[in-house]
Structure 1
Amino acid sequence: MRLPALRRTAPPPIIGGSATAAPEPKPPLPLPLCFLLSHLEDEAVVRLDGTKVGVSEVQGLELDEPKLGAFAGFLNALDFPVQLLVRQHPPDLGRMREALREDEPESLPERTKAAADSLHGLLEGLERREGILDRRFYAVSELEHAEELQSLLVRAGLSVHPLKGRVLRRLLLAAALGGTPAERDEAAGVEVEVNRRDLRLGDHLVRALHLGRWPRSLAPGFLQGLMTAGVPMDLSLHLGAIPAEQAARTLEWQKVRFESAQSLSMSRGRTLSSEAEIALEDVTRLRDEVQRGRERLFHASLSVTLHAPDEATLDDLTQRASAHFAATLGKLDGLAFRQREGLLSTLPLALNAVAAWRTLDTSSIARLYPFSPPDLDTRSGTLAGIDLRACAPVVYDPFDGTHLNANTAVLARSGSGKSFSTKLGVLRGITRGIVAYVIDPEGEYASMARAAGGRVLSPGVAGQGLNPFIIERRDAEELLQRIGSLRRLIEVMVGESLGAERRAALDHVLAAYYGEPREGAGFGAFYRFLQESDEDLAKLLRPFATGSLRHLLSDEGDDLLASEALVTVFDLHLLEPELRPAATMVCTETVWAAAARDPRPRLLVVDEVWSIMQHPEGAAFMVSMAKRARKHRLGLQFITQDVQDLLSEDSSRTITGHSGRALLQNAAFKLLLQQDAAAISTVGDAFDLPPDLQRWLLSCQRGDGLLLARGNRFPIRIEATPEEHALVEFSPGQQR
């Protein structure tokens, strides 16, 4: 695989205060030779010395004590050299913008099209915004140890993906020339100027630094502060395990040396210096830990390569990086006249060209933990917000199949912006072809839906009834689940528990009704069948057949698939509050029927889900829906401001059992916006939030929140363009 050529330049020498004639330029040095590369294979980078190197990308994780312990176990199991590499650079969102344009439906309404175009502008702005970075973690070793390294990382709880082919090539070129991995012109030359304290690669500057003096002690997550400082850089940690026998002998020799010095001092009537006493204690403790197998010793080396467009910015970044280590009495060396070696040490070559090492124990290295903070940026889907801690875009696609499901829970206090964030998510979803349905008990989403080219239905109004009683798929599993859903729906419609005997009778009637194929089955036909089978049950459903609610359920019903809009809002604000849970279940069951007939990415938003969850049958219905939604590529998003009630475990006050928590457990994504002080302890216990995050959720500004996904916590800020604001913003009188 061919790489670009290198043109190496240097300023003319100055002698006696005047410039001499420039010497004859040397031929361009091949880029592979400059970076000690021989060639690339499909699964490996081959160095000039013939060593094959394997590279794997590692998914970052949030730092906590269990993960530190698991990482320490990984270190103790290492018996070969390894390089842990962190790369963070301004993001390249070009491919994501192209994917969004490809997924964009044709003939979008004008205002919706303008909102979609404005999102592309926002993404372009993020690429240039200072401090916004794309962070990636890598593990590098010789190819013969690559599989073992991957296995050890997996055992430590990390997700690992080996890099091959073009992906590996893009990473290597990006690490050598700077920036995020992307396709580059192989025929283009690269001008490199090697200076005393930096290098110029093309149109930007690079400065390599090395940690010459390590801090006396390392706090957990020591590197996390540096990586969240918004500095474009490559950080490389080289590790080489020292055999336990050699480590024990070395520590025993050091212990004897310190004890001899102590004895000599005491014989002369002197005391050992405090530094020597501390060193003796450390050596004694470490020797005992090594002999017991709890600790190991490693040769460690840490190098940093900074990237900047100009010298002033590079000096500023250097000062910020140096200040981080100086705060703990560490020191970064500038590597004068050794910039190339420093750059080579941060390439994914498993090569420490600086050749400077420091001996560290397992616990100290574990505290470095180079796989945090994580970022949620899958480069597919759409923008969800900005990670305030990692300074990175939050991009994901709930429907890409890599998550447990596409369900999202939104929990927030009144006035925290949950309706706005939901509308924005719906808007960005429909601009990439995801059909949305919104069950709106207060009429908040109607204006947005109409402006975005959607439609608004008012169940209960003549001509806008729904028909959830159609079951077209007749496989046994689907039929059993739908009958159970309809039984729970009818029980909520009745408004009271039917009791065991009536519930069994209703189940028998439903099974008998759907046991035979029927054309155009609807509530009217079912009601007539029920009158013939069980008059007592039929009387309970009379308001929905001939009373004031007769327009809620219709034999004809609106075929959602026949005229499926970009977004459909079921506006329930005309119904009495006690009837809304039943209407919500009718709408949900109708959408489920449509999803079963034509599985494709769809989003179903249920606002104020607590109104359903306070009914035992409604709670069971929603939990069942959350579990089954993934089967037909349906994403369920439920919203509530009754957080404490939803999470309560007191069955005397709330729903039977723990259905609220069961509903949350079936949501792969959870968005916690600003919380009420009365509910924060319940929220903290339910989601295992540390005290600092609990305090932040009490005081964070409107539009900020905590996204829980993939086992990590992401403090995010939801950003919208002016065009998106104009489309989704509601009037102050409607804010909640």
Structure 2
Amino acid sequence: MLDAAGPEAIEVHARALAVGARLATTLVVTGYPAEVTAGWLAPLLNFPGHLDIALHIEPVPNPVAAAGLKKQRARLESGRRAGYDKGHLDDPEEEAAAADAAELAYRIARGEGKLFHVALYLTVHAPDENSLAEQAAAVRAIAESLLMTVAPTTYRALPGWLATLPLGIDTLKIRRTFDTAALAACFPFISPDLPTATGSDGEAAGVLYGLNAVSGTPVLWDRFAQDNYNSITLARSGAGKSYLAKLELLRLLFTGITASVIDPEDEYVRLAETVGGHVVALGADGVRLNPFDIPPAAHSGEDMLTRRVLFLHTFLAVLLGADLTAAEKAVLDRAILAAYTRVGITSDARTWTRTPPHLSDLTTVLEEDGSQAAADLADRLAPYTAGSHAKLFNGPSTAAATGHLVVFALRQLPDEVKAPAMLLALDAIWRQVTSRPAVGRHLVVVDEAWLLMRDGAGARFLFRMAKAARKYWTGLAMVTQDADDVLTSPLGRAIVSNAATQVLLRQAPQAIGTISENFHLCHGEKEFLLSASRGEALLLTGDRRHKVALISVAAPGEHEVITTDPGELAGQYTDDGVGIAGDLAADDEGWAP
């Protein structure tokens, strides 16, 4: 039995072994970098060839460690004083070593750490000498890129091979001393790949986000298999956040989900037109949503009139650009109820199907109230009832929010009214989600979410939506480039904490501190986000157990549909010679591999 487990023969050479029909050579790690992060040995684990890695650990008793550190500190201090007496300049490396030894000695004395003897050996296998030399050179290059120093086991090839067998025997004993924190950075030998989610049929679920930046394997992620279905995507302008959001949306549509999009810059219009979706261009002639519309009750017994009045308070606060005082809220509440009463809508559910009032009806009630607060509110609403923005919100609804993909395109709206228009569109989406008869997955994408997050009432609406979406098998995908509007407010942080899928692309140096603090990033992850190319992203899960660096990739057909790069779109023309790039956002987020 034992004979069958071993090779038929072993031939020992100076630096290699012939183990059966294959060759093997062992490299010893003799030097380590000064600073590392968790999982720093992962590049070695992902080596594509046959590589055996053995890490031998032997704890050092605290009395022995303390005595050794005492001698080491005395030697370093003696050398420093001798150099000082001779007029030599301080040696920076010696000073750093003395400081490290002193700090380590104090940690051990306080019981905050221990010392370990650690040995790391790498055995490379190949079928012939040339392949072995190439594989060993590749492993050496990876090790040196990690700032490790490696050396071959010359004339000790057999002990080196034995040291990497699963026997737990260190036959070389070429070791270095590690403390607890340094040793912890070597464990666990984690895989850079996410765990693969599987459906009820056992097949891989989710959609392709891109390729793993470390291993090159596909990154499949299913937001609807997480604790909640929400996501947050943060990036600086031009990093490719909208491109990645459109790519995920397009691939999710292939799986049969329905979706709604708030699109401030008309970046999703071509996508909707390609897949047969419905585009609601708010701001265009004759396109309007009436904020006074009462949705049908999703459940019997629901007081939809009261819920509509509460929404109107939120909408008007965003429309007027400031939180209302208690007196203004009281006046407004009376006026809203009076406007509904005048058209025959009361607390009786049978009246909720009647034609609702308009914004001008509310202004009329406020003007008749006679109080100063009511007059001030009427004056502030005048631009939206009889002024330059009257056609946007004043009048009956003329657009329907139905279809497998509905995009609310807001580019034609002035910047001053984009936030209330986004809120009104979100309300229309939410009414559709809560009243849809068919049961199925739904995704709500809010691009440039900072437009709503900077307003308190808008942020509260998004927060409530993020909390309640899961009950309707709906996910809220927020895409924004302004991290401060999201992460510096309690509501913004609460929305992030309710997102099980978190995607970070390239960040500005001014924002990386806030991003790092809120997403608990290590040094290497911060450096990755600061230097990431367009399309490179860090995918995090809400519980922080899994994370992966990826590169988003799109097929040529997908790229043609979702790109908004003006340089690419300028070369695409319709049959009548008019460039289709003319009506699209001139941003720089279109990216292809």
TM-score class normalised by the smaller sequence: 0.5 to 0.7
* Aligned-partner residue type, residue 236 of structure 2: A
Cα distance change on mapping 1:436 and 1:478 into 2, 3 Å: same
- Counterpart of 1:612 in structure 2 is 452
- Counterpart of 2:315 in structure 1 is 489
- C-alpha separation in 1, matches of 2:548 and 2:444: 24
- Counterpart of 1:470 in structure 2 is 296
- Is structure 2 residue 409 aligned with structure 1 residue 571? yes
Whether the 8 Å contact between 1:195 and 1:337 is mirrored in structure 2 is no
- C-alpha separation in 2, matches of 1:339 and 1:249: 28
Tell me how far 1:478 sits from its aligned partner.
Answer: 10
Encode CA deviations 1:310-336: one digit per residue, 9 max, x unaligned.
Answer: 764543232233456676554354874
- C-alpha separation in 2, matches of 1:617 and 1:248: 62
- Counterpart of 1:319 in structure 2 is 137
Encode CA deviations 1:36-69: one digit per residue, 9 max, x unaligned.
Answer: xxxxxxxxxxxxxxxxxxxxxxxxxxxxxxxxxx
- Is structure 2 residue 361 aligned with structure 1 residue 517? no
Tell me how far 1:517 sits from its aligned partner.
Answer: 3.4
- Counterpart of 2:422 in structure 1 is 584
- Is structure 2 residue 432 aligned with structure 1 residue 594? yes
- Counterpart of 2:151 in structure 1 is 331
Among 177, 188, 192, the residue aligned to 1:371: 188
- Counterpart of 1:421 in structure 2 is 244
Encode CA deviations 1:473-522: one digit per residue, 9 max, x unaligned.
Answer: 36889998776444312443466654323424555767997855347647
- Counterpart of 2:88 in structure 1 is none
Cα distance change on mapping 1:524 and 1:690 into 2, 3 Å: same
Cα distance change on mapping 1:646 and 1:223 into 2, 3 Å: closer
Tell me how far 1:605 sits from its aligned partner.
Answer: 1.5
Query: How is 1:646-665 mapped onto 2 (pairs within 5 angstroms)?
Result: 646=485, 663-665=495-497
Query: How is 1:220-231 mapped onto 2 (pairs within 5 angstroms)?
Result: 220-221=36-37, 224=40, 227=43, 231=47
Query: How is 1:50-129 mapped onto 2 (pairs within 5 angstroms)?
Result: none
* Aligned-partner residue type, residue 610 of structure 1: W
* Aligned-partner residue type, residue 227 of structure 1: P
Cα distance change on mapping 1:687 and 1:281 into 2, 3 Å: closer
Whether the 8 Å contact between 1:605 and 1:637 is mirrored in structure 2 is yes
Please give the secondary structure, in 1, of the residue aligned with 2:557. helix
- C-alpha separation in 1, matches of 2:354 and 2:24: 72
Encode CA deviations 1:238-257: one digit per residue, 9 max, x unaligned.
Answer: 44546x4xx63687599899
Whether the 8 Å contact between 2:43 and 2:142 is mirrored in structure 1 is no
- Is structure 2 residue 58 aligned with structure 1 residue 235? no
Cα distance change on mapping 1:299 and 1:423 into 2, 3 Å: same
* Aligned-partner residue type, residue 168 of structure 2: N
* Aligned-partner residue type, residue 265 of structure 2: E
Whether the 8 Å contact between 1:226 and 1:321 is mirrored in structure 2 is no
Whether the 8 Å contact between 1:248 and 1:291 is mirrored in structure 2 is no
- Is structure 2 residue 443 aligned with structure 1 residue 443? no
- Is structure 2 residue 535 aligned with structure 1 residue 703? yes
Encode CA deviations 1:609-663: one digit per residue, 9 max, x unaligned.
Answer: 233334432233223333433343332223344x2763696xxxxxxx6655555
- C-alpha separation in 1, matches of 2:101 and 2:478: 57
Whether the 8 Å contact between 2:294 and 2:305 is mirrored in structure 1 is no
Tell me how far 1:603 sits from its aligned partner.
Answer: 1.8
* Aligned-partner residue type, residue 151 of structure 2: K
Unaligned 5+ segments in structure 2 are: 75-95, 198-205, 571-580, 588-593
Q: Equivalent pairs: percent with the same residue?
A: 25
* Aligned-partner residue type, residue 313 of structure 2: R
Cα distance change on mapping 1:501 and 1:408 into 2, 3 Å: same
Whether the 8 Å contact between 2:45 and 2:189 is mirrored in structure 1 is no
Whether the 8 Å contact between 1:198 and 1:208 is mirrored in structure 2 is yes
Query: How is 1:14-29 mapped onto 2 (pairs within 5 angstroms)?
Result: none
* Aligned-partner residue type, residue 63 of structure 2: A
- Counterpart of 1:434 in structure 2 is 257
Encode CA deviations 1:220-273: one digit per residue, 9 max, x unaligned.
Answer: 34972662695234534344546x4xx6368759989999xxxxxxxxxxxxxx
Whether the 8 Å contact between 2:211 and 2:553 is mirrored in structure 1 is yes
Unaligned 5+ segments in structure 1 are: 1-26, 35-190, 260-277, 346-350, 650-656
Query: How is 1:682-721 mapped onto 2 (pairs within 5 angstroms)?
Result: 682-688=511-517, 700-710=532-542, 711=544, 715-721=549-555
Cα distance change on mapping 1:373 and 1:257 into 2, 3 Å: closer
Whether the 8 Å contact between 1:440 and 1:570 is mirrored in structure 2 is yes
Query: How is 1:539-578 mapped onto 2 (pairs within 5 angstroms)?
Result: 543=385, 548-549=391-392, 554=397, 558=400, 560=402, 564-565=403-404, 567-578=405-416
Cα distance change on mapping 1:616 and 1:209 into 2, 3 Å: same
Tell me how far 1:296 sits from its aligned partner.
Answer: 3.2
Cα distance change on mapping 1:387 and 1:286 into 2, 3 Å: same
State the TM-score, normalized to the length of structure 2.
0.66
Whether the 8 Å contact between 1:199 and 1:207 is mirrored in structure 2 is yes
- C-alpha separation in 1, matches of 2:23 and 2:306: 64
Whether the 8 Å contact between 1:226 and 1:324 is mirrored in structure 2 is no
- C-alpha separation in 2, matches of 1:248 and 1:611: 61
Cα distance change on mapping 1:362 and 1:613 into 2, 3 Å: closer
Encode CA deviations 1:365-399: one digit per residue, 9 max, x unaligned.
Answer: 52652337773523232232334356554432222
- Counterpart of 1:623 in structure 2 is 463
Please give the secondary structure, in 2, of the residue aligned with 1:378. coil
Whether the 8 Å contact between 2:41 and 2:186 is mirrored in structure 1 is no
- Counterpart of 2:87 in structure 1 is none
- C-alpha separation in 2, matches of 1:584 and 1:702: 27
- C-alpha separation in 2, matches of 1:288 and 1:484: 61
Query: How is 1:392-407 mapped onto 2 (pairs within 5 angstroms)?
Result: 393-402=218-227, 405-407=229-231
- C-alpha separation in 1, matches of 2:271 and 2:352: 33
Computed over aligned residues only, the root mean square deviation of the Cα atoms, in angstroms, reads 5.3
- Counterpart of 2:557 in structure 1 is 723
Tell me how far 1:670 sits from its aligned partner.
Answer: 4.4
Cα distance change on mapping 1:449 and 1:214 into 2, 3 Å: same
Stretch deviating more after TM superposition (457-466 or 600-609): 457-466
Tell me how far 1:412 sits from its aligned partner.
Answer: 2.1
Tell me how far 1:553 sits from its aligned partner.
Answer: 5.3
Among 271, 279, 285, the residue aligned to 1:456: 279
- Counterpart of 1:215 in structure 2 is 31
